[in-house]
Structure 1
C-alpha cells in the first residue's frame, strides 16, 4: 500500500508542502486527459481517513467514488485540470498531459497552498509552477499523495466519459472510458468518428482516411 515516506523524504511540512500529481486518460482514443494534484495534511502519521487509498486501477468503481468524496473533504488542498481533445491533437498527448498537470497544480488554491515540490507519477518531468518536480515510477502504488491524485483524476474522467456517452451513444464510453476496446473500434467503423475522438491517434486517423 502507498504511504507518506516519499513525501516525508522531500520535507513535506507546512512551510514546504509536497503535492502528489497523477493523470488519467493518456491512452484512450476519445475524450480529454485529466490530471489531479493533492496535498495531504502534514505531520508524521497517516490520517485515519486515508485508509484504503491506493492506486485507482486497483480499486473498484464504487470504492473509488467513495474515496473521491473522502479525499476532497479532507485533503489540505486539491486541484483538477484537463486538456481537451483539440489540445491533444494540436500539441500531442504527452504535452497535453503536462498541460493538464499544470492546470491541476494551478487549481490547488490560494498562494499559501502553492507546493514547494510536486511528486509526479512516472518518469517524465512536466514543467510545473513549483520549485522542484520529482518523478516516481509506479508512484500511484508508492506515494499516498499520488494515489489520492490518481483517484481524483480517474473518477473525474470517468464521469466526463459517462456524460459524453449519453451524447454519443453506441461507443460504450460509459464502460470503456474511450479506450480502444474491440467494441469501441467496431463502433468507430460502424458509426464513424465523433468530435470527441483523438484524430492524432493512429486508429482514428486511419479510419478517417478510409472514410474519404
Structure 2
C-alpha cells in the first residue's frame, strides 16, 4: 500500500470521504491507494463549518485573551510534559491589532504534530493557513492554543503616552503574560520555543530568569525551524485576518469600508484607504495606530493643525522671596490660551 502522510496538506487533493478522515489526523488502514484521486473542492468542503473561536463580537476597543480548552490528554493527566511555541502576527501594519499566540502540545504526541506539515504562516496562502488551523482545532486530544489580541487603540495609547511603552516592551510583557496564564492552568511546560523580538540572546536570558526550570529557546526564524512555533504563527495570523475581515467600527454614522488591504504601509490599498478616510479634525478611526510614522505624516500634511497650550506656571513664590526687602509688584501668570484670546486682568478680586 502506498504510504500517505496522515497530517500533511498533500491530502487536500484527495476524495472527500478519504480526505475528511485523513484531514483530522486519522489514518484508516482500509483506505486503498487507488481511492486517492484529485478533488479540487475538498478544501472548500472541509472549511464549510470553519469557525474562529478567538473572535469577539462588536468593536475591538480593548485588548483581550482567548484560551482554547485544555487537551484531553492533560485533563486526564496534568503532569504530562508539554512543549510550547510562541509567535505573533501584525507587528508592522499601521492598522488593526497585534496578535500574540501560543500553541502547546504533549511531548508524547509532538512527533505526530511535527509531521502535520506546519510552516511559517507568512509563507502560506490564506486558504492553507485556514486549513492548518482547522487541523489544530481538530486535535483537541493533544494540542491547545491561546491568543492575546492587542487592540490598535491600546498600542497607540501605550506608545504615545508620556512614559512611552514601546512595541518591544509590549511584546515581551504579552509573551510573559501568556506563558504565566498557561502555567496557572496547571500545564506542565518543559520546553518553550519563541520567535525573536530583538536580540535573541538577551531575550532568552530574560525569560529564563523568570521561568526557571523550563528549557527556553529564543531564535530568529523560529516559526520556520520549530513546528510548534509554526502552529502558533498560524493561530495568530488566522485570528488577526478574521478580526480585520469582521472589523466593526466603533465610530457611528461614518461611511467607512473594510477595503484597507493588509495594513502595511507598502500596500497601495492601505495607503489609499488612509487618504480617503482621514478627517481633517479628528484624524482616523480607532482601527489606526496613531503612533506609526505613516499615520503621523498623513496627519501633519492633511489635517488641521492643533496648538496645545503649555501648562500654567506655578503660582507659588520661591523661598527666596521671604528674604527680600519690601514688596515687589508680582507679574500675574497667564496661560498661552488666555494670551492668544487677548484676555487680561481688569481688576483685583
TM-score calculated relative to the size of structure 1: 0.79
Aligned length: 196
Secondary structure of the residue that 1:46 maps to in structure 2?
helix
- Unmatched tracts of structure 2, length 5 or more: 1-78, 159-164, 250-254, 279-283, 305-349
Alignment match, 2:125: 60
Map residues 22-101 of structure 1 onto 2, 5 A cutoff.
22-43=87-108, 46-47=111-112, 50-74=115-139, 75-89=142-156, 90=158, 91-101=165-175
Partners of 2:137 and 2:184 in 1: CA distance: 16
Secondary structure of the residue that 1:157 maps to in structure 2?
helix
Q: Relative to structure 1, is the Cα distance of residues 94 and 171 closer, same or farther in structure 2, using a 3 angstrom cutoff?
A: farther
2:245–2:258 contact (8 Å) kept in structure 1: no
1:83–1:99 contact (8 Å) kept in structure 2: no
- Unmatched tracts of structure 1, length 5 or more: 1-13
Q: Relative to structure 1, is the Cα distance of residues 51 and 17 closer, same or farther in structure 2, using a 3 angstrom cutoff?
A: closer
Partners of 2:154 and 2:188 in 1: CA distance: 26
Partners of 2:133 and 2:277 in 1: CA distance: 34
1:183 matches 2:257: no
Map residues 1-212 of structure 1 onto 2, 5 A cutoff.
16-43=81-108, 46-47=111-112, 50-74=115-139, 75-89=142-156, 90=158, 91-108=165-182, 111-122=185-196, 124=198, 125=203, 130-131=211-212, 132=214, 133-164=216-247, 167=249, 169-170=256-257, 172-173=259-260, 175-176=261-262, 178-180=263-265, 181-192=267-278, 193-210=284-301, 211-212=303-304
Secondary structure of the residue that 1:151 maps to in structure 2?
helix
Partners of 2:194 and 2:218 in 1: CA distance: 5
Partners of 1:100 and 1:114 in 2: CA distance: 20
Partners of 1:184 and 1:171 in 2: CA distance: 10
Partners of 1:45 and 1:146 in 2: CA distance: 12
Tell me the CA shift for residue 49 of structure 1. 8.2
Tell me the CA shift for residue 41 of structure 1. 2.7
Partners of 2:91 and 2:110 in 1: CA distance: 33
Rg (Cα) greater in structure:
2
Partners of 2:97 and 2:84 in 1: CA distance: 22
Determine which structure has the larger helix proportion and give its number: 1
